[in-house]
Amino acid sequence: MMLEFIAVHREDIIRRCRMKISMRLVPPPTEAELDHGVPLFLEQLVDALRLGPSSIAAIRGTALLHGHDFTVAQVVRDYGDVCQSITELAVELNAPIAAGDLRTLNRCLDDAIAGAIIEHGRKRVQSGCDGEAARGSERLGFLAHELRNLTNTAIVAFESLTTGNVGISGSTGTVLHRSLMGIRTLVGRSISEVPLTQRINSPERFFVWSFVDELTPEGAAAANAAGVTLTVLPIDDGLVIEADRLVLKAVVMNLLQNAFKFTRPGTMVTLRVAASAERVLIEVQDECGGLPRGNVEDLFRPFAPSHPDRTGIALGLSFSRWAVEANHGSIYARDVSGVGCVFTLDLPRLPLSTLSIA
């Protein structure tokens, strides 16, 4: 179990994290990061593994304090270094991480990063920072959020491959390859400073069925790791849309990840596509028990989590709204009382004749 693994190798994990932080040039390391940040987070991670989800609130509280003391970039990289150090050491020592422990680790990291970014955003608003600076924080959050999702999927696929029950040439290997390619693409975009939150640079026309078919193996792997079932309903093979395929995939995977995270164990998440003469609707429905009370629109506010048990989803949904609107569509949610909720991507439908099949 990861709990015992961290307890036995605690000093080695901290040493690795400190080494990673000390080698950073931008942002420069601080004594607080080296001496206090990593050990404290690691201690609370152990509590989360031992006590369960109820202790994750402590992680969030630490993230808020962390957000007060450090920049968002420092927070994101520090927590990423913790995750990387644990997984690297586990691979080196041939100590596979159980799926449940991996979910707890990533839940803690997601909440910690989200909490720090939320606090940073609130501070910027309170200090009267300009809109472009605030959008800069959101851009960093988007990059961290999508890298986290892609990395989680890659780790789950890798863990499946290490069992020896599946082959690298099968669908699991394909999931791992696509996740790594997605990570490379996001990193390339950040290096070239493509303004993800301002415009879409790579629109293309494609069949909806092929788009869903491409992301289904990744979704199924994530669903299996979460202990739920992903059901993809049949799709009309004549539906065509135009969008930045990578960005739209990030949106749908974000909705699926949220659904897997909050739906009740042993239940089902459904991905379906409906269409009219002019619109295509991509819907993700879960069985979480229903949305929290309040204005559904609050779910899409970037720095205002709507419910204490759903901390962090506001960032992903805020970025999802931007991405869908940048692709000339819209996103909205509805409650299915006592059952769950449905998130819908509403996109323009193109005539079949507009798609070149040459």
Which pLDDT belongs to residue 235?
95
Asked if residue 224 and residue 177 are part of one domain, the reply reads no
At residue 84's C-alpha, the angle toward residues 248 and 299, to 5°, is 40
196 belongs to a structural domain: no
CB of 288 closer than 8 Å to CB of 263: yes
Of the three residues 142, 168, 191, the one that is the final residue of a domain is 191
- Joined together, the tokens standing for residue 358 give 């040459």
SS3 content of the chain, % helix, strand, coil (to 5): 60, 15, 25
**Phi-psi group of 289: left, alpha or beta (phi > 0 → left; psi -120 to 50 → alpha; rest → beta):** left
Per-residue pLDDT of the chain (358 residues; tens, 9 = 90+): 777 888 889 889 888 888 887 776 655 667 766 676 677 777 767 776 677 655 555 555 555 555 555 565 666 667 777 777 887 888 788 887 776 677 667 666 666 665 555 555 555 555 555 455 555 555 555 566 666 667 767 776 776 677 666 567 666 677 777 777 777 666 655 544 444 444 556 788 999 999 999 999 888 888 887 889 999 999 999 999 999 988 899 899 889 988 998 888 889 999 999 999 999 999 999 998 888 776 777 777 654 444 444 444 455 787 788 889 888 999 999 998 889 999 999 999 999 888 754 3
DSSP secondary structure letters along 141-188 = HHHHHHHHHHHHHHHHHHHHHHTTSS-TTSHHHHHHHHHHHHHHHHHH
Asked if residue 237 and residue 92 are part of one domain, the reply reads no
Asked if residue 207 and residue 181 are part of one domain, the reply reads no
Asked if residue 99 and residue 27 are part of one domain, the reply reads yes
Distance of CA 225 to the CA centre of its chain: 15
Question: Within a 13 Å sphere around the CA of 266, how many CA atoms are in the beta-carbon half?
Answer: 0
197 belongs to a structural domain: no
At position 104, the amino acid (one-letter code) is T
135 belongs to a structural domain: yes
Asked if residue 349 and residue 213 are part of one domain, the reply reads yes
Of the three residues 191, 211, 243, the one that is the final residue of a domain is 191
H/E stretch holding 20: helix 2-22
Q: Which residues contact 334 (CB under 8 A, 6 or more apart)?
A: 296, 341, 342, 344
Please give the tally of structural domains in the chain.
2
CB of 313 closer than 8 Å to CB of 320: no
Which pLDDT belongs to residue 354?
80
Residue 37: domain span: 2-191
Q: Which residue's entry shows tokens 């962090």?
A: 312
Which pLDDT belongs to residue 125?
53
